[in-house]
Amino acid sequence: MAPEPIVPLDPQWPRMTLAQTQDLLTAPGAKFEMATAEIGGVSTRVWKNAPPSLRLLAQMVRAYGPRVFTIYEDERVTFDANYRATAHIAAQLVEMGVGKGDRVAMAMRNLPEWPAIFFAIVGIGAIAVPLNAWWTGGEIEYAMNDSGAKILFVDGERHERLKGCYDRLPALERVVVSRARGEVEGDVVRLEALIGAPGSWQSLPDAAFPDAEIAPDDDATIFYTSGTTGNPKGALGTHRNFATNILSSGYVAARTMLRRGETPPAVPDAKVMLLVIPLFHVTACSAAMMGVVASGSTMVFMRKWDVEQAMALIEREKVQGTGGVPTIAWQLLEHPARKDYDLSSLEAIAYGGAPSAPELVRRIYEEFGALPGNGWGMTETTATVTTHSGEDYLNRPNSAGPPVATADLRIMSIEGDRELPLGEVGELWARGPMIVKGYWNKPEATAETFVDGWVRTGDLARLDEEGFLYIVDRAKDIIIRGGENIYSIEVEDVLYAHPAVTDAALVGIPHKTLGEEPAAVVHLAPGSAATEAEIQAWVRERLAGFKVPVRVHFSPTVLPRNANGKILKTELRALFEERGAA
């Protein structure tokens, strides 16, 4: 049975079961009708009406014409202007000798240029390689050489950081710099010399996309995983992977409305979204941008995250949705200047990449009047596999939601040799048309992770009787104290519920006889105070004694995260090593 909802719900909710909504939405002739396709030799359910390629998507959305597509500071780019820039970049790439299957890398902030470059690359059948703009030169050098990218698009900041290593990239033929900070030399060209600045794109001559034959399962992207140890692996995504997310997002929105007793609109409403997570991550590029493009919505970019600037943008642009990772929502809730801004336009705050506490779910709904949302996915699933929103999320705040209709989940033994009974905790496996082909140039890692269409996720999870997913922990992050399993998310949820705590993580620290013990790192809300003993007492009142953190470290800032929003627990463990282990 589902737990008690954290806020009162309409006693008539839900007006349909999940099975009833799926039957209605996927019926023959319906928008979300499914078909079967052979993907990598595996028969797979797919969305029948998904765009067959990102090339076609980029061309179709030109119909939105004068609608604003991106906003960055004082720059506003319409769908038509973005299309013109995309088509011209595509033609320039062909002139540079880029063809189908060639890799073209991107290392830049969220800028209006980003989606134009991305769709130009995939629109001619080349493979886009979005690189983490936070990486050091050495990390980008590794990914460039691993992918064999022949063209690199960078912004001015990345160019200054990387120009000393261009000579160490044997496959690199040309660098294109946007917003360069000075003169450019050698085989480096300014993007503005090719297509002008974003404010002038509307005046570019009308141009057609260069010819290209692209099938749904052709290669489209290489997104590097955000592993915290060792070199990252490049997940090889397809056009179908990204097109799947468009229909998946629409399906979940329609499912939520049907459960509420409402009729989904024939055409989705255009929204204004504040995108504060980087486009080099699949959550932003796939789960967010694909839906924005398909629905004719608007993306508002920020140069870097600043909570007060974000509130000013929400007020100015009448932003209806934002999020990304739970920390963003916490900071919006806790900021002392929140009362000075009109945030009433917010309808939804959604996030992924990291678990969230039920307390956050409740506060988003009660204090913003917005519907919270989350979901589960990973780089290897091109983001969305499950999505949790609206009343379902309020009813099951510990869950990551049910899978979309084209996805399957199962819980396997850690050894991978048997499926576990309903309700038991094991490793989560996922299957569907959003699963990538494998890892670029890593056949052994591919064979280990991808099995007959399933991806072994490394997440410990369980499923309930209605198919709702509950992520319990990362398999490698589970803390085993004297033979007792401690799932960090359970303890972190309790920490987040403390009125003074706004960011929290649990890590294992070595112990001579017990093997490991739990330790917590917390960041307190502005103006709040708490002691180690108070935090420990709070947990002890709510959980078994062996789960109580033996140490609590108070961080003056929010906890360190990688670009995917996952807390860097290796760095947190080092905090306790400095204090001495038991």
Q: Is the pLDDT of residue 229 over 50?
A: no
Contact criterion met (CB below 8 Å) for 462 and 472: yes
For 349-364, write each residue's pLDDT tens digit.
998 755 577 888 999 9
Q: Same domain, yes or no, for 247 and 387?
A: yes
For 68-98, write each residue's pLDDT tens digit.
999 999 999 999 999 999 999 999 999 999 9
- Return the closest-CA partner of residue 468 out of 370, 543, 385, 381: 385
Torsion sign, CA atoms 142, 144, 147, 148: negative
For 476-485, write each residue's pLDDT tens digit.
778 888 767 7
Q: For position 9, what pLDDT does the model report?
A: 87
Lowest mean pLDDT among 40-54, 455-469, 474-488, 534-548: 474-488
- Counting beta carbons within 10 angstroms of the beta carbon of residue 403, is it exposed (0 to 12), middle (13 to 18) or buried (19 or more)? buried
Q: For position 476, what pLDDT does the model report?
A: 72
In a domain, 426, yes or no: no
118 in helix, strand or coil?
helix
Helices 113-123 and 79-95: angle between axes, nearest 10 degrees: 50
Helices 532-540 and 488-497: angle between axes, nearest 10 degrees: 110
Tell me the percentage of the chain whose pLDDT exceeds 70: 96
Spacing of C-alpha 198 from chain mean position: 26
In a domain, 9, yes or no: no
Q: Is the pLDDT of residue 105 over 50?
A: yes
Range of the domain at 121: 54-214
130 in helix, strand or coil?
strand
CATH number of the domain at 252, please: 3.40.50.12780
518 in helix, strand or coil?
strand
Q: For position 354, what pLDDT does the model report?
A: 57
Question: What's the average model confidence in pLDDT over 371-400?
Answer: 93
In a domain, 513, yes or no: yes
Query: With a threshold of 0.95, does the pTM exceed it?
Result: no
Q: For position 455, what pLDDT does the model report?
A: 97
Question: What's the average model confidence in pLDDT over 43-63?
Answer: 96
Characterize the bridge pairing of strands 75-78 and 68-72: antiparallel
In a domain, 226, yes or no: no
Q: Same domain, yes or no, for 175 and 113?
A: yes
Contacts of 178 (CB under 8 A, 6+ apart): 108, 111, 113, 153, 154, 155, 156, 190, 191, 192
Q: Which residue has the tokens 């000798």?
A: 97
Contacts of 544 (CB under 8 A, 6+ apart): none
Average pLDDT, the chain: 92
Q: Same domain, yes or no, for 241 and 302?
A: yes
Q: Same domain, yes or no, for 368 and 465?
A: yes
Q: Same domain, yes or no, for 386 and 453?
A: yes
Q: Predicted confidence band at 228 (pLDDT cuts at 50, 70, 90)?
A: very low
Q: Predicted confidence band at 200 (pLDDT cuts at 50, 70, 90)?
A: very high
In this structure, the number of other CB atoms found within 10 A of the CB of residue 577 comes to: 10
- Return the closest-CA partner of residue 524 out of 500, 540, 548, 544: 500
Q: For position 2, what pLDDT does the model report?
A: 54
Tokens of residue 580, six digits = 């001495």
Q: Same domain, yes or no, for 466 and 494?
A: no
Q: For position 578, what pLDDT does the model report?
A: 59
Q: For position 582, what pLDDT does the model report?
A: 38
Q: For position 226, what pLDDT does the model report?
A: 60
Question: What's the average model confidence in pLDDT over 472-479?
Answer: 78
Q: Which residue has the tokens 């000579």?
A: 167
Task: Tally the domains of the chain.
Answer: 3
Q: Same domain, yes or no, for 201 and 270?
A: no
Question: What's the average model confidence in pLDDT over 536-561?
Answer: 92
440 in helix, strand or coil?
coil
Contact criterion met (CB below 8 Å) for 562 and 228: yes
In a domain, 192, yes or no: yes
Q: Is the pLDDT of residue 579 over 80?
A: no
Contact criterion met (CB below 8 Å) for 384 and 500: no
- Return the closest-CA partner of residue 391 out of 411, 412, 372: 372
